[in-house]
């Protein structure tokens, strides 16, 4: 008889974690008990009873010592009560069950009515009820879901060991029962994997043996899954339950086990199988070839079990420093849960996902992703803490070391500025000294944050304990690029050209302009047609401007630039804007014995002769105007060749006075006309006779 073992069978990560917690507790001097059976398996319960750890039903059954919370979890009130009584507490609740508690608490807090798909008497469901204030409806099957009355806001969760197809059928029946429904698939991945593995094995065998306790929900579900394939299936708790008639006529036997079944019980069943031959009866004296055949089969059985045992036993539990592959099974904002090859589930905190600064792990991973992780440690509660960041870092460090040895370029993104330089993400965090950012002094390092550049590694020491393991430079690359651009610049530049430039540095006497490979000086005298007090008053560093090539000295490689050439002079503006006879506003800027100078445009002043200051004789201009006084003036003359403008305040005043007299006379005429319109014919005739 050939014996085949399911790929996924026996202890799941949650049970193995609880087993580990209980064993650690049993080694201490404190007396411990479990609140309810640690798992649904008599063999495990007896194992811990021999170590002095007994199962109790209620907290009041013990007075002191420590309490281990079972894998199925408990309502929060029980933990609070145990804590209030002073008990030491070890929480062996399966991490996936804890997630269900969190979801139930969340839904209750947001005002959802809750439906739990599960068995009302199962301890896991009773625990979930406690986390939603015992205000949830428990539905055991799709038929009960059809009878559900419905509600406005509905949240649906499941006991972790239920069948996924049944859960989806329940959800389908509930969709029409609510205006708003939130569904969380909280069925354990280990349960699903064991069911899939068992169904696959059923297609290859004549008989399936499902090993597990009769009280185990996941084992019962596993048995039903096998039976539904049509293959003959028996559920047994141990090797003692195997009956000879089970095996009559069986050529290929399949074995699987529930998630709470320990490996030693599976091993006992396999050992028991070696006592049966093809006919199903215990073997007596057999022919030599049959003995050899059975020996081969026994070796195969041992090999199959050894493979499975290696996956389940403590010695195969991932240890600190192991790098293992896993599948993402849940993504929250602050952490990612990973199924590590079906052997364990671990947690990657957000801080261990990536060097990148993100708000949620959902930006970095999604369910179904295969990732490599490093085992950091077993947390105090038995949770395996993992790191993806460190695996990515190691891989990156290997690649970076190769780049360093070969002297090749790498790309990276500046992520932050620190004292003395910048931090750069090149797969790992590297340091870029300020002196190596450019080929010259950099005033503001923060402007590089978020930008991507090419670098060379100038120092690499992955074993360095203090300081940066990776030191970068882009100075040489910048110099090489600048030399290339410089050659291109001198080969194409000519006097009289207008090109784009970027203000690189501002000094008192001008500004240095980056012309794309070469720097030229824009002297302060060539910035504008008017006097510039300081270059920073009209230019700012980093600004892009049009610039005129005023002169070139190729031998000394000097470039003189002008901005003034490209902008209109104040006199050009005046000639375009004003004409003789215009009345305009201006400001008195200087006073002389012969009159006052008035600025009408920046850089252009006109003269108001003393004779044009007022309608009276003026002894001194100060008697009429003052510096910075705003005045209205009339343009009397414009001489573009001599660049002189004659202005008059008197003309403006005279015209204003004349206009005032004219307005008065017009008002008098209008008044007389209105009076004439109101007189009778007799009054008009009398005035005519007079």
Residue with the two structure tokens 């569904």: 183
From CA 600, how far away is CA 588, in angstroms rounded? 9
Q: Which helix (H) or strand (E) holds 328?
A: strand 323-331
Clarify whether 24 is annotated catalytic: no
Residue count (the chain): 690
From CA 353, how far away is CA 336, in angstroms rounded? 8
Q: Which helix (H) or strand (E) holds 572?
A: helix 570-577
CA angle 115, 121, 123 (to 5 degrees): 90
From CA 241, how far away is CA 488, in angstroms rounded? 89
Contact 48, 56 (CB under 8 A): no
CA contacts within 13 A on the Cβ side of 32: 27
CA angle 187, 40, 204 (to 5 degrees): 65
Reference 18, options 87, 103, 96; nearest CA is 96
Q: Which of 49, 110, 124, 572 is catalytic?
A: 124
Q: What does the DSSP assignment read for 428-465?
A: SEEEEEGGGTSSS--S-GGGGTT-EEEEEEEEE-TT--
3-class DSSP state of 26:
helix
From CA 585, how far away is CA 577, in angstroms rounded? 13
3-class DSSP state of 261:
coil
From CA 234, how far away is CA 238, in angstroms rounded? 12
Q: Which of 366-378 are b and which e, b meaning 16 or more Cβ less than 10 Å from the residue's Cβ?
A: eeeeebebbbbeb
How many CB atoms sit inside 10 A of residue 441's CB? Answer: 9
From CA 583, how far away is CA 589, in angstroms rounded? 18
Residue with the two structure tokens 């909280």: 186
Q: Which residues participate in catalysis according to the annotation?
A: 124
């Amino acid at each position: 008889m050939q014996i085949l073992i399911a790929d996924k069978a026996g202890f799941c990560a949650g049970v193995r974690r609880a087993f580990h917690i209980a064993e650690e507790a049993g080694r201490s001097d404190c007396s411990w008990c479990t609140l309810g059976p640690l798992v649904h398996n008599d063999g495990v319960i007896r194992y811990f009873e021999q170590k002095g750890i007994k199962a109790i039903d209620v907290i009041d059954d013990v007075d002191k010592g420590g309490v281990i919370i079972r894998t199925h979890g408990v309502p929060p009130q029980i933990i609070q009560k145990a804590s209030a009584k002073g008990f030491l507490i070890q929480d062996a609740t399966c991490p996936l069950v804890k997630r269900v508690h969190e979801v139930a608490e969340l839904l209750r807090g947001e005002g959802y009515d809750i439906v739990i798909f599960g068995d009302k008497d199962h301890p896991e469901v009773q625990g979930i009820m406690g986390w939603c204030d015992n205000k949830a409806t428990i539905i055991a099957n799709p038929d009960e879901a059809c009878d559900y009355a419905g509600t406005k806001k509905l949240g649906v969760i499941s006991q972790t060991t239920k069948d996924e197809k049944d859960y989806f059928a329940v959800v389908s029946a509930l969709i029409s029962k609510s205006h708003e429904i939130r569904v969380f698939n909280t069925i354990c991945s280990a349960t699903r994997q064991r069911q899939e593995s068992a169904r696959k094995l059923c297609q290859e065998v004549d008989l399936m043996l499902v090993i597990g306790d009769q009280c185990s929900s996941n084992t019962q579900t596993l048995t039903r899954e096998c039976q539904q394939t049509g293959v003959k299936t028996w559920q047994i708790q141990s090797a003692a339950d195997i009956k000879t008639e089970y095996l009559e006529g069986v050529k290929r036997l399949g074995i699987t086990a529930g998630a709470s079944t320990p490996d030693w019980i599976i091993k006992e069943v396999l050992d028991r199988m070696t006592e049966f031959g093809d006919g199903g009866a215990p073997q007596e004296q057999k022919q030599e070839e049959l003995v050899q055949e059975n020996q081969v089969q026994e070796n195969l059985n041992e090999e199959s079990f050894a493979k499975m045992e290696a996956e389940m036993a403590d010695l195969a539990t991932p240890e600190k420093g192991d790098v293992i592959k896993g599948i993402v099974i849940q993504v929250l904002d602050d952490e990612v849960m990973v199924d590590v090859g079906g052997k364990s589930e671990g947690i990657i905190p957000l801080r261990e996902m990536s060097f990148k600064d993100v708000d949620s792990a959902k930006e970095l991973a999604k369910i179904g992703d295969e990732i490599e992780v490093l085992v950091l440690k077993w947390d105090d509660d038995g949770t395996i803490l993992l790191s993806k960041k460190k695996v990515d870092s190691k891989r990156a460090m290997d690649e970076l070391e190769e780049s360093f040895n070969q002297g090749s370029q790498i790309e990276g993104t500046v992520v932050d500025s620190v004292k003395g330089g910048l931090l750069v993400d090149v797969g790992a965090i590297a340091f870029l000294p300020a002196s190596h950012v450019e080929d010259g002094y950099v005033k503001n390092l923060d402007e590089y944050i978020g930008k991507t550049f090419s670098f060379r590694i100038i120092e690499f020491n992955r074993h360095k304990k203090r300081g940066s393991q990776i030191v970068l430079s882009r100075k040489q690359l910048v110099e090489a690029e600048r030399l290339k651009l410089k050659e291109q610049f001198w080969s194409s530049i000519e006097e009289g050209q207008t090109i784009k430039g970027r203000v690189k540095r501002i000094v008192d006497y001008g500004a240095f302009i980056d012309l794309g490979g070469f720097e030229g000086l824009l002297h302060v005298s060539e910035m504008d047609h008017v006097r510039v007090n300081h270059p920073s008053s009209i230019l700012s560093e980093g600004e892009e401007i049009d610039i005129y090539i005023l002169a070139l000295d190729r031998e000394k490689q000097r470039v003189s630039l002008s901005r003034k050439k490209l902008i209109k002079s104040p006199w050009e503006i005046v000639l375009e804007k004003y004409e003789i006879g215009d009345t305009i506003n201006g400001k008195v800027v200087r006073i002389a014995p012969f009159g006052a100078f008035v600025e009408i445009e920046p850089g252009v002043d006109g003269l108001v002769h003393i004779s044009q200051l007022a309608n009276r004789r003026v002894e001194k201009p100060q008697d009429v105007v003052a510096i910075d006084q705003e005045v209205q003036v009339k343009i009397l003359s414009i001489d573009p060749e001599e660049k002189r403008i004659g202005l008059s305040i008197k003309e403006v005043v005279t015209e204003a006075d004349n206009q005032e007299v004219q307005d008065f006379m017009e008002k008098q005429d209008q008044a007389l006309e209105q009076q004439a319109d109101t007189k009778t014919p007799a009054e008009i005739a009398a005035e005519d006779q007079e």
